[in-house]
Structure formats: C-alpha cells, structure tokens
Amino acid sequence: MNQKELREIRKRFKLDKDSISHVYGCYVNAAKDIVARMDMSMGLMEQEEAELYLKQLKKAISGTLGKNLLDIGFSTKQVEDSDEHRLLQALRLSHLRDEDMRELFYQRVIESLDFGDESYVILLASDSYDIPFKGNDDEIWEEGSNEVFDYMICCICPVKDAKASLRYFAEERNFRGASSGHVLGTPELGFMFPTFDDRSTNIYNALYYSRGLADIHEEFIAGIFNTEKVPMSAGAQQHAFSDVLCESLGNDCSLDVVKAVHGQIRERLLIHKESKDPEVPEIYVEDVDDILKNSGVPDEKIGTFNEACRREFGEQSVLNPINLMESNKFQMVTPQVKITVDPEFTYTITTKVIDGSRYILIPMGEGVEVNGIDISTDASDAGEAGQGRDAGQISNAGQDRATGARENAEAHENGETTSPADDDEVEF
C-alpha cells in the first residue's frame, strides 16, 4: 500500500460513510481470562460513543508506512493452505459474524500476546468498500465499480485506571470526588487484512500497526501471522545502521562523515516529500557507499560496511531513510554536554585540537540565550567576566577542575590574561 491508498481507506472511518455497522471484541484481564465479550451495533450507539470507537479502530491504520506501519507478507504456501491465513480469510469473508471464528481468533491473540500485567481489549470491525473508478486525472468517480474490497481491522487497546477527579454534580450544585473507573487506552498494536494494493485486494499481505517503534510485539506477529521473517522495527533499524556504520568505519567514523551521511539522508527525504510521491522512500546501500567514498573513507572499510549492511538488512539492502537517522534533528552528546543543532546548520560545527585537547567548536554569533536569559556575546565583556579564563571557550575534554582553577588563580595573580577565541567560537 502507498500513502494515497491508505488515505482512501482512512476516509471510510466516518459515521456518515456508514461503512462499519458492528464492532466486536472481548475484554481480557491480566490473568489472560476473557471477562466480557462485545457485539455492538454502531446504529444503536450514541453519536459520541460511535465516534470514539471509530477513532480507536482508525488508529490501527494511522502513522507512517515503513515506520510504525509494516508490511506482513504471506508465502504462497500459507495462502494456499495454512491455519493462520485460513482463519483471517474466514473472519473477513464472514464479515466477523462467525462467532466460532471470532472465539478462535481471541484465543490465538491471548496465547500469542505478552502484555505483562496489563488488561486489554481486542476490537474487531469489518467493512465492504465498493471501490469507485478513478479517472486519469486521479479524480474518483462516485458511481460505478468493478470490485468490492472486503477487509477487517483489529486493534489491541490497553485498559487503564482513570485518575480520580473533581466532578460537578448539578443536582447538588457542587464538585465532588469521582472516579471514572476503567478507560480504554490508545491502541498499542493492530492490523488490517488484506491490504489495498493498487486499489485492489491483496490477500498476500497484512498491514501491521505498532504504536511503539522499539517494541513491535514480535510475539504477536509470530503467533497470528506465522511469518518466516518478522519485519525489523524502526528503532531496531536505526540502532543497526548506527552500529554497522560505527563498527565498520572505526576511526574513520568522524564528525564530517556522519554529517555527510545525515545530510544526504535528509536531502533525500526532503526531495521525496516535495515530489509528493505516495510510495515509501528508499535508499540503497550503494548510495551510502558513494557518500562514504566522497567523504574520504578507505575502500576496504566501505566494503566492510556494505557486507555488514547486507547481513543486517538482507541481500537486497534497500533501506528506508526514515528509519536510519532522525532527519529533523542533529544531536551530539558527550559525558558532560548535549548539543542539539538545526540540521540546516550542521556545516558550522567543527572539531579542533587545542593544546593537545579535542574540542567541538560552534560559532556563537548574536542572540544567545542561557536558561531563558539573553547574554552578551561581546568578547571583551566575556574576557573581563572570566577573570583571566578564556570565557569564549568551554571545554568538554574532562580536564581536572582543581588543576584548572589553580592555573586560573596563578594567571590572575601574575596579571596574565588569555585572548578570546577567534571569531567568537565556543568550545563544548
């Protein structure tokens, strides 16, 4: 599925569409026992209640493709003859009306899912979408269709204890303490089956949703879909790419190299966004190889990086740049200092060795604020305030503070002063 197709399905989750007529589900406690089963008609609900259920279900297809929306593929063998695919097909083709199939599905979820000590609710809904024709101008014709897209939505919602609050009681004309009991939290995971690929039914795929980017509940994926290869989470992809880059390049993994890789990934994402391409953005390992080569990394280390990527991400090594680095943030962390820089201005950051110590240099300029206070960046003022210390420079080299203080005191007694840093550069 691409973003356009996803948006088309999302538009179905509105009351005026009359697309979802029933919501099914069950309430599972921490002991993994079903304490309640639900079979609710949307037509009999209050409008606010119905909208809340639709909002929960819609979450299962919300987010970014390739990041928290992952493709789950079924093999041809699974589609032809497998318990997991047969169950999903039976659920969606019966529009979830088959009680025995629903019960079997509930038990599989309970057996597969590890939610710790939390209770949760399994919600199910189905829809039959009479797919309208789409013209050459990408406009949808509301009349006429050649296919009906039958699909189901599942989402797993944690049950939370609502906080006690003061509520107004009109009959008493007063506020009194009241608890709302248990409330349904935002879905942690869910899926849509089948997918809507090329605006048509694809029973070889399911679209899996995970609220968290690190923990995607692999145990649920294995239990419900029995897939041979569980997709790597966005968080795992980022960590794997960072580790591969660092370990493969070793001492050549410099600030300039990381800036170059980050900049190229960011540029690729910006171009993809401006193009309004609905497909998931891609970057090949070979593209990263070129970035490293242009940054002066030796060929043998580039080869090591390439091999490591193929081990981690597969032989095709087609990567999603969204998951490799945070393109909207550039952050440097030392044991003493955390520095966040606007990605557009990473070129201003440099490193330098001064008197045998390594420094990160960032031009100060004007408009510097410290703890909400605008400070003067005038070099002469800084020098006077520093009482002999180089106030234009703050070291993060982990030097002994006592030694530094003693040296400063001696310099002050001797009337010695140090020159402010050139070009108002601050060392972190």
Q: Where are the domains of the chain?
A: 3-229, 235-323, 331-427
pLDDT value at 212 more than 70: yes
- Identify the pLDDT of residue 154: 98
Q: Using CA atoms, how far apart are residues 250 and 248, in angstroms rounded to an integer?
A: 6
Report the 10 Å Cβ neighbour count for 60: 25
User: pLDDT tens for residues 286-341?
Assistant: 899 999 998 889 999 999 999 999 888 877 668 888 888 888 889 889 888 888 88
- Identify the pLDDT of residue 428: 25
- Identify the pLDDT of residue 385: 45
User: pLDDT tens for residues 48-103?
Assistant: 999 999 999 999 999 999 999 999 999 999 999 999 999 999 999 999 999 999 99
φ, ψ of residue 63 to 5 degrees: the values are 120, -155
φ, ψ of residue 172 to 5 degrees: the values are -100, -10
pLDDT value at 266 more than 70: yes
pLDDT value at 406 more than 80: no
Provide mean pLDDT across the span 27-40. 95
pLDDT band at 424 (very low <50, low <70, confident <90, very high): very low
- Identify the pLDDT of residue 220: 95
pLDDT value at 11 more than 90: yes
- Total-model pTM: 0.79
Q: Using CA atoms, how far apart are residues 353 and 229, in angstroms rounded to an integer?
A: 47
C-alpha Rg value of the chain to the nearest Å: 29
- Identify the pLDDT of residue 152: 97
pLDDT band at 144 (very low <50, low <70, confident <90, very high): low
pLDDT value at 171 more than 70: yes
pLDDT value at 396 more than 70: no
Provide mean pLDDT across the span 134-158. 81
